[in-house]
Amino acid sequence: MARPGRPRMPKAPLPGSVEGFLDMLIAERGAALNTRHAYERDLADVCAFLKKSGKDIDSATTADLKEYLNELSDRENAKSKGGGKTAVRTIARRISALRQFFGFLVSEGKRPEDPTSTIESPKQTRTLPKILSEDEVTVLINTAQKQGGPESIRLVALLEILYATGLRVSELVGLPLTAIGPDSRYLTVEGKGGRERMAPLSEPAQKAMRAYMEIRTKFLMPDRAESQSKWLFPSRTSESGHLTRQRFAQLLKELSRNAGIDPERVSPHVLRHAFATHLLKHGADLRSVQKMLGHADIATTQIYTQVVGDQAKEAAEKHPLAQKANG
């Protein structure tokens, strides 16, 4: 976002082939707008690099792309003082974007070959998601309840809904008022690619929702009521009319400090991870968790089984009988 008073820099126009690829992501693959923007940024960076030497992405060779990736690696390593996992992830994501783009060109008959076919992605060590314990989630909710006032009631509702459903933060803050099912027993959620799913609410979440609905109008402004009224979590200040992801993340950081939990360990996505891990820990079916999280691929959900497995192993090693046997 441009700083106040500073004119926004115009974007360099992208080649028609890149625009065509980006449009295809939305039209044929049902990709979310954020996904389109991510691919646009990645491919724009490649185009800008190639342009310096008078080349274009449509006719780029394998050597051109390797030269770009070497430059990207140097840039990322300098940015993160040595690189590490962040640099590896960035490079791997950029290669993935290039593969999909050139795969599109080949399928459209605009190139006879894919210049990325001999380029290998850097090996990534998959890190396990960070989570909070069940006790820590309880402490967060109890702390939010003690704060009092409309802000407290809203925060409790946000926490209970997020922990009960595992929604993505963008899905949570962008819920329309019409998402609430009969008796507030479930939510209808539109996820990535416009895929719709039902998210059942726990009894604590239903109770928190009902309490919040009684004071929801306190977050509406008379002069902006029309633009705000359609949102479940309206905001008096945001341009969108609803609570923003950034503001919710700030509220969580403040809450974690008040609860005596390291703020660096708490975020909306961490609560989503906690939802999935705690469900599996208590015997939930992996397919059911996949549907509730809105994962298109069950492989994405399977990583939580490793978290549960590691926790069980750690608990077993701490058991007095195990310690006695090892001793």
Tens digit of each residue's pLDDT, the chain (327 residues): 444 444 444 567 899 999 999 999 888 877 778 888 999 999 999 999 999 999 999 999 999 999 999 999 888 877 766 555 667 888 888 999 999 999 999 999 999 999 999 998 776 555 555 778 899 999 999 999 998 899 999 999 999 999 998 888 989 999 999 999 777 788 988 876 677 888 889 999 999 999 999 999 898 877 666 667 889 999 888 888 899 999 999 999 999 999 999 998 898 888 888 888 888 888 877 787 777 777 766 666 666 665 555 443 343 333 333 343 344
Catalytic residue ranges: 168, 192, 269, 272, 295, 304
The pLDDT value given to residue 319: 32
* Helix (H) / strand (E) containing 151: helix 149-165
Q: For 295-316, how does the pLDDT look when each residue is reduced to its tens digit (9 = 90+)?
A: 766 666 666 665 555 443 343 3
Compute the radius of gyration of the chain from its Cα atoms. Answer: 23
Classify domain 134-317 by CATH number. 1.10.443.10
Q: Which two tokens stand for residue 183?
A: 């008796």
Within 10 angstroms of residue 251's Cβ, the number of other Cβ atoms is 18
pLDDT given at position 195: 76
Query: What pLDDT was estimated at residue 238?
Result: 82
Torsion region of 58: left, alpha or beta (phi above 0 gives left; psi -120 to 50 gives alpha): alpha
H or E stretch at 187: strand 186-190
* CB contact at 8 A, 30 and 195: yes
Give the pLDDT of residue 204. Answer: 94
Domain boundaries, the chain: 16-107, 134-317
Query: H or E stretch including 40?
Result: helix 33-52
